Structure 1
């Protein structure tokens, strides 16, 4: 994702998560020291010890206790409120959140703290935050299954970031590709410290909730690698027996999260350049379809989008990136398979296909836009959802934060 999207999501098939792992380069010195090798204990729940008293005899056998339902694995994800949520954010992330709600414990938040790492409009921030939250709900996020909240409403994000920063080598941050690219564009004199430390805040977002899985796109792999390295580093420096001596339970302080890589086709490209990702920060609004664009605007953007001079339509031709992108968008909004789209569109000219694509996008976005208007009209409902989501998130986050403070030696509040 661009920095506007915290992650892109993937619906898992029957493949085990371990088959999808992206292994970071955690320094081997964290794990090769014989003294600390066994510090991280399995925190399984043990059955209660048996009583020495003989059980009462019964004429009928005791019923077997029903097994406890397995705990769901946890996923967190979010999107920045700067700019308009566009088709790339939706197809690459939000749309995929919906089925995940039934499989995982899910927390979806609006990452407003990340939004201030670059110049922004302060008067628009709160408005855009509410708009983004309403779009989450309009797209199908079900608050009976998932928590929706605003990042800055859970203060533990910033507190944990500071604690993590104390153990983050500056060299790890200097190697971040996105920082290098954006600081080069802005000039070193104008770059804020927050742009450099942005990945530490992202690590805080993930580790705070003891996340099991993190959806990532190609441009966020490096940030997740840093998160995994920080989890390993803090576990080594302060976990295990060291934490137990501080009065804690011992073992690992943080779960080391695993990545979920989005399927091919989830990466939606710009309408004006098939080699660049659709982005909120692109200077031209013509480069993207915003989820709230009226139907005449959608039709006009598709009519004017960049194409090529080749006959017919085809996927996966490296000389035709725009064709591949527009076919992919059609596939995703129509719900058809790649093979069905190929067969349907292979002999179409650009005029016919653009009309088909525009109509499909308009039809797909219409119910989202109707639901969005309903949610925004009932401001009390939206406020209640965000308060409830922040309360639940705070309960989880504070438990992690208190453990970190304890393990790092702070005086108990």
Structure 2
């Protein structure tokens, strides 16, 4: 089995610290292995969106990946819509998927159901499966709330292989050991997300240092004064300890005894977050739009070779003649010259 990995980043909002901890940093640290990263702009079309904002967020996401240490010489980075193979394999996999299994996906249950719901929201998990299967991916690092999508991908790959032969690599989900799910500072029981309606509890990667510090110092804590790592009884303080562990590569339960008061803990968290993000922000602002576009274009060219080969393989297995190599002309079968009038 291939040891290639993949990570996709949907440009539906500015990236935040949870994205960095759960996806970006593991991606950057694992670049000694073959890795594919893409900006999933096609996924952003499943809900109403502003085209100009989508373009801007797509470039911002790509720029932050580069600023965080993604090396385009080692990791393939591209924009999803630049690769036609995503569209093609999406439809071909729909022919192997059932309505029932995609209708059960959590995103459709949470956001869909009305008469105005876009059909793409229903079929979105099949496009996600195509994203993975295009590149013969063995491991997909995801948060636990995304595990259902990887399971669907596995089911589709196994079903297709059973019907048509060994075409797809069957992937598995992997999860970061720490801080895969950072909580919102204003509501630590909720996930810190880039599309949260209220942003006073979300630490965005491009927030200025004073904004980061203000959000952290106003973070919700818990009753009492003891600093202890207890996610059930003390979700606010435990979330702050998770943040500190994320920034310092420590363990939240081991960090707790170092801080006798909530105020001291908040100050330490603010200092650590600012120190972590300052070099990323500096490198991001040094990048120009042309630098980002060039990296994306080079990545798309690299990705296309494997992705197009996968689509040809799938078409051939399904009986589509366009999946077979075109016959070459030979001296024995000369071409007829067009008639002149």
- TM-score for both structures, normalised by structure 2: 0.91
SS across alignment from 1:223: helix
Give how far 1:336 is off: 2.7
Which string of whole-angstrom CA distances, capped at 9 and with x for unpartnered residues, describes residues 196-230 of structure 1? Answer: 11100000000010101111221111111110010
**Could you say which residue in structure 1 is the equivalent of 2:167?**
253
Which string of whole-angstrom CA distances, capped at 9 and with x for unpartnered residues, describes residues 10-55 of structure 1? Answer: xxxxxxxxxxxxxxxxxxxxxxxxxxxxxxxxxxxxxxxxxxxxxx
In 2: Cα distance, 1:360 partner to 1:216 partner: 25
Q: Is the deviation greater in 356-365 or in 262-271?
A: 262-271
Aligned CA RMSD, in angstroms, stands at: 1.5
Flag the structure with larger Rg.
1
SS across alignment from 1:279: coil
- Listed as ranges, the matches of 1:51-62 within 5 Å are none
**Could you say which residue in structure 2 is the equivalent of 1:132?**
61
In 1: Cα distance, 2:286 partner to 2:178 partner: 34
**Could you say which residue in structure 2 is the equivalent of 1:230?**
156
- Listed as ranges, the matches of 1:205-284 within 5 Å are 205-239=131-165, 252-284=166-198
**Could you say which residue in structure 2 is the equivalent of 1:156?**
85
**Could you say which residue in structure 2 is the equivalent of 1:341?**
255
- Is residue 125 of structure 2 the alignment partner of residue 199 of structure 1? yes
**Could you say which residue in structure 2 is the equivalent of 1:373?**
285
In 2: Cα distance, 1:72 partner to 1:372 partner: 32
**Could you say which residue in structure 2 is the equivalent of 1:383?**
293
Which string of whole-angstrom CA distances, capped at 9 and with x for unpartnered residues, describes residues 270-304 of structure 1? Answer: 11111111112211111200000001111111122
How many residues end up aligned between the 2 structures? 323
**Could you say which residue in structure 2 is the equivalent of 1:90?**
20
Give how far 1:120 is off: 1.4
Equivalent residues of 2:80, 2:86 under 8 A apart = yes
Q: Is the deviation greater in 263-272 or in 293-302?
A: 263-272
**Could you say which residue in structure 1 is the equivalent of 2:330?**
none
**Could you say which residue in structure 1 is the equivalent of 2:221?**
307
- Listed as ranges, the matches of 1:282-293 within 5 Å are 282-293=196-207
SS across alignment from 2:78: strand
Structure 1 unaligned spans of 5+: 1-70, 240-251
SS across alignment from 1:125: helix
Equivalent residues of 1:72, 1:105 under 8 A apart = no
Structure 2 unaligned spans of 5+: 327-341
In 1: Cα distance, 2:89 partner to 2:267 partner: 50
Which string of whole-angstrom CA distances, capped at 9 and with x for unpartnered residues, describes residues 136-192 of structure 1? Answer: 010111112111110111110111000100121101112112211222xxx512211
**Could you say which residue in structure 2 is the equivalent of 1:353?**
265
SS across alignment from 1:274: coil
Q: Which of 402, 405, 410 is 2:312 aligned to? A: 402
Per the alignment, do residues 317 and 135 of structure 1 end up closer, same or farther by CA in structure 2, a change over 3 Å counting? closer
In 2: Cα distance, 1:317 partner to 1:407 partner: 50
